[in-house]
Every structure is written in structure tokens, then in C-alpha cells.
Amino acid sequence: MEVLFFGEEIPSFLTKTKVRQIQDLGQTILNSFEYFVTDKKGIRQIENLIIAQKMREELLKILDSLQEGIEIADEKGEIKYVNQAFTRITGIEKDERIGKNIFEVSPKGALAQAISTKRPVIGYRTLVGGSMAEVVSNAVPIIIDGLLAGGAVVFQAVTDILKISEQLSRTQEMLESFTQKLSELSGCRYTFNDIIGTDEKLLYAKKIAKKAAKSDATVLLLGESGTGKELFAQAIHMESKRASKPFIKINCAAIPENLLESELFGYERGAFTGAIKTKMGKFELANQGTIFLDEIGDMDLLLQAKLLRVLEDKQFERVGGVETITTDVRVIAATNRDLKAMVKEGKFREDLYFRLKVIDIELPPLRLRAKEDILLIANNIINKLNRRLGKRVKGLTPKAQELFLNYPWPGNIRELENLLERTIILADDQYLDEHHFYGYFQEVSEQVDSGKAYPIKNLAEIEKEVISLALEKYGRSLAAKRLIAEKLGISIASLYNKIKRYNL
């Protein structure tokens, strides 16, 4: 074998003797290697060594990435390995620990016990290292071919365990809250096909709503109670790119002011008395979907400011929380109140008003729609109720139709639907005649028979009169008011607000 150098001459610092020694050594190594690699067994051993080395390196990487501290010693107690978490928890560096004897540095520890007794030590609590951190340890002896080869201990700081336990508890609470809320939510049932009628004002509102559905713009639905604002909100959602995502409704008038904030934005555990676990709000549940804020005009001024921030920045904090939550929600709001007048009176924020009415859609009351719409809607409701209630009502008689056409329907479509549902449940006839509505249309019927037109009043007057008559008929107890609210198709909170507004 010859040693080759780049250049014509051998470097001056190498004597002939040294060159010969290098050549002899090189030849010996080459001969040994040549003999080794020609042997198939030797080749397999090389491959196994390489694989074993790679596996060892990967194992050490895994051990160093764990959050639990790990320490390994041989059968004599000499410490061979500690991972990075060991140093983090104990405050002892690797070079200060490796090579030491476990029976000297920690004679009463879990690892020393496992090696000396050749038995596992589970759940051993002690203080370790210069940090005197309290840890919980599990140690096991390492037995190979029936002989003790050493031991290993895995431990975790109690503070880490408590943190993980708390995080797990919070995650579980959030999951329970989410599951509960999700089960309470009803999916969208209505599309634009469910909005029926031939009235020009209705068709225009429907046209604007369809265009609004193609964007993420905030929509403000205006109209009297019962005109179909929620139906429009659901139809817009179902026509939008968010149709497969949640549609969450909340009635701002049905929830007391002091609870509405936590319903909208959720709360952290301990935020107030009774808040025993974290709860997600409607805005979190509606993420990537649509939230429908009904009766937005009844929202408190302070809460309006928080809602404005969500609309502008898409961010909020839970009640009692400090973490800022980002949400991607399309907002549709609705009200039967004159928000513009409320802004002038200082009862509604002007900036929120303009933020909400990016696209405003006014829904006509039933009394101002084309007369044929009343019968179209009535027949559609009858068909739906037949399917739901298992009935076979075919429709209204001409006399019943006359009553329907001459009644002003202060409660709009909701009143019409409630009246038909109650009547169909109690009726056994195929057609609903005027006697089925005895008492309900009595005053109207008398005026029709006498040739008098039904007096047209504004909505406030009609609403005040209906509520006043209902209070006289059913009384003022809580049970009576709940019955009145049910009959009028409004919440008990809305009824209380109207009683206060009209001084009844």
C-alpha cells in the first residue's frame, strides 16, 4: 500500500520512517476491514450497529422532549442518563449528576429503592434538588435475562400536575358547556322558499335579503312583532356561505340585563356567585356561523359598547376573564322599535346603530300587505299544522275567510299561526268556519255585519288595547302574565316591558 499526497514531493515534516509506519498501519486497517466486510455475518453486525445507534439517538431525542424528569442508573447505582426535564425540575445540571452514585446522592429516593429491592416504586412523593421541588415519582428496576441491569425513574413536579389537572378540568367544563349548548340549539328550518306572499313590499324585502345573503355584511331587520324577522334571518343564513355552520339566536328582551352579557360572551369560573364552571357564550358557539340578535333595541347601553367592539374588532373577553377571544361571526339583528328615535333620545348608541344598519330591511305588517297574502299564509300554516298534528283540515270557509281578511292582525303572522294552531287542535271538522273562532273575532264580526269598517289604529294603540284586555281577562298574577305572553307569542320579559311602557 502506498500513501498518496497531493503534489510531487513528500512533506518535509514526514521522515521516511514515519511514512513507512503510516503505510503499514493503513494496510493493516484495510486488510482487517476487507476481511470483515467479506464476511456476511460481519456485514449484518455493522448494519445492526448502525440501526442500534440510530435508535439510541432517536430514543434520547424523545426522552429529552418529555415534560417528565427521567433518570437512569446501572446495577451499581452509577447514574448514566438524565433528560432536560430533570434539570428543569431539580435545578441540577446534567454534568453535575451523570457519573454520580444514586445510593450516595439520593439514597432514600425512588430510584435507589427500585434498584436495591428489585421492585417498582409507584407514587413516591419527595423533595428533589436544589430547588427542593416536590415531585411524584415512579421507579422500576431494569431486569435483563433475569439479572439486574439497573433502574429508571420518571417523575413530575406537583405544580405541573396541578396545572395539567386544572387545564384538563377547564377543558372538560368547556366541552360539557359546548355539548349542552349545542344540544339546545335548533338548526335552521327556513329558507326563502318559506317566505310566501305576493305583496310588493314583501317581495322587495325578499330581494334585498337574497343579495345581503351573498355577503358577510351586518343586516338589520325592522318590523313589528310577528312579521317574520327570524324567518328572514334564517333564510339569509341558509343562503349564505355560512349555511353549514351554526345559527345561534338570542332574544335580548327575554333575558334580564344583568345576565345578558354572560349569555352573549360567556363567563369564567368564579366570575360571580353561582359561576362554578366556565361557560361559552353565544358568540363563541356561533363562531364561523351567524348570530341572530332579536329585540336588539332592548339592549343596555353599556352592553351595546361591548357589542360594538365585537362588530368592529371581532374580539371580546368572557365575564370575569382576561383572555381576549377572537370570533368570526356574521351578525343579523332585529327590532320592532324605532332605533333612530332612540338614538335621538340617547337610549341607543349612534355608532352601533350605523354599524348594524349596513343593510337594513323593513318587513311590512300583515295588515298592510296584499289581502290575498293573508289567505295564502293561512293555508300554508294549515298544511304545516296538519302534518305536525296529524290533522286533516282542508281550509277556511268563505265566512271564516271574510273574518280573516277584515281583522287587522296586530300580532301579525305569529298571531295568525297561534290562532290556527289552537283552533285546529280543538276542531274536528274538515273546514274551519266562523263558529270555530267564536269570541276571538266577535267584535270584528259585529262590525262587519253592521257594515262598519274596522277602525284603523296605530300599532302602539292596538298593542296597548290587546294587552289591557288580556290583563282584565286573565289577571295580573305571574301565571296569568305567562299565559298572556304565550297567547301573544312574546316572552314574559317583553310583556313586562310593554306593561311598563304603556303604564298598564
What residue ranges define each of the domains in the chain, with the CATH number in brackets?
A: 67-160 (3.30.450.20), 185-362 (3.40.50.300), 368-501 (1.10.8.60)
Residue 4: the pLDDT is 43
Residue 457: the pLDDT is 46
Residue 5: the pLDDT is 42
**Given pLDDT bands bounded at 50, 70 and 90, which one contains residue 37?**
very low
Distance of CA 353 to the CA centre of its chain: 27
Burial of 299 (0-12, 13-18, 19+ CB in 10 A): buried
Average confidence (pLDDT) over 278-302: 91
pLDDT higher than threshold 90 for residue 376:
yes
Nearest CA among 336, 349, 353, 348 for reference residue 218: 353
Edge to edge, the sheet with strand 121-128 lists: 79-82, 69-74, 147-157, 133-144, 121-128
What's the sign of the alpha-carbon dihedral 416, 421, 422, 428?
positive
pLDDT higher than threshold 70 for residue 57:
yes
CA distance 468 to 367: 21
**Given pLDDT bands bounded at 50, 70 and 90, which one contains residue 453?**
very low
Residue 169: the pLDDT is 63
pLDDT higher than threshold 80 for residue 340:
yes
pLDDT higher than threshold 50 for residue 144:
yes
Helices of type H across 314-440: 339-344, 350-356, 371-389, 398-406, 412-426
Residue 170: the pLDDT is 67
Average confidence (pLDDT) over 337-351: 94
pLDDT higher than threshold 90 for residue 329:
yes
Residue 450: the pLDDT is 52
Residue 186: the pLDDT is 47
Q: What is the CA radius of gyration of the chain?
A: 40
Nearest CA among 485, 488, 32, 487 for reference residue 496: 485
Residue 7: the pLDDT is 43
Average confidence (pLDDT) over 452-460: 49
What distance, in Å, lies between the first and last C-alpha atoms of the chain?
A: 117
pLDDT higher than threshold 50 for residue 145:
yes
Residue 365: the pLDDT is 95
What's the sign of the alpha-carbon dihedral 139, 141, 144, 145?
negative
CA distance 191 to 359: 19
Residue 372: the pLDDT is 93
Quick: pLDDT tens for 79-100: 999 998 888 888 889 889 999 9
CA distance 101 to 358: 75
Average confidence (pLDDT) over 428-456: 66
pLDDT higher than threshold 80 for residue 21:
no
Nearest CA among 454, 474, 473 for reference residue 462: 454
pLDDT higher than threshold 50 for residue 6:
no
pLDDT higher than threshold 70 for residue 9:
no
- Among 144-148, 326-330, 331-335, where is mean pLDDT lowest? 144-148
pLDDT higher than threshold 80 for residue 448:
no
Average confidence (pLDDT) over 342-349: 94
CA distance 500 to 504: 7
CA distance 211 to 213: 5
> By the 8 A CB rule, do 329 and 290 touch?
yes
Q: Which single residue is written with the C-alpha cell 417523575? A: 155
pTM over 0.75: no
Name the amino acid, one letter, at 392.
R
pLDDT higher than threshold 50 for residue 290:
yes
Q: What percent of the chain has pLDDT over 90?
A: 37
Residue 275: the pLDDT is 64
Residue 359: the pLDDT is 96
CA distance 186 to 229: 17
Q: Which residues contact 361 (CB under 8 A, 6 or more apart)?
A: 205, 208, 209, 212, 219, 220, 221, 222, 232
**CA separation, residue 12 to residues 8, 19, 384 (Å):** 12, 11, 107
CA distance 226 to 414: 5
User: CA angle 476-477-480, nearest 5°?
Assistant: 80
Helices of type H across 39-157: 40-65, 84-90, 94-97, 102-105, 110-117
Distance of CA 9 to the CA centre of its chain: 80
Residue 482: the pLDDT is 84
pLDDT higher than threshold 60 for residue 381:
yes
- Among 121-130, 441-450, 467-476, 478-487, where is mean pLDDT lowest? 441-450
What residues form DSSP beta bridges with 148? Answer: 143
**Given pLDDT bands bounded at 50, 70 and 90, which one contains residue 178?**
low
Residue 382: the pLDDT is 93
pLDDT higher than threshold 80 for residue 347:
yes
Average pLDDT, the chain: 81
Name the amino acid, one letter, at 89.
I
Please state the three-class secondary structure of 42-54 as a single string: HHHHHHHHHHHHH
pLDDT higher than threshold 90 for residue 328:
yes
Decide the pairing of beta strands 79-82 and 324-326.
unpaired
pLDDT higher than threshold 60 for residue 179:
no
pLDDT higher than threshold 90 for residue 230:
yes
Q: Which single residue is written with the C-alpha cell 432517536? A: 58
CA distance 140 to 228: 70
Residue 196: the pLDDT is 93
Residue 128: the pLDDT is 79
Average confidence (pLDDT) over 443-469: 58
User: CA angle 106-112-118, nearest 5°?
Assistant: 175
Quick: pLDDT tens for 231-275: 999 999 999 999 989 999 999 988 887 789 888 998 887 666 666
Residue 393, number of CB atoms within 10 A of its CB: 20
CA distance 46 to 40: 10
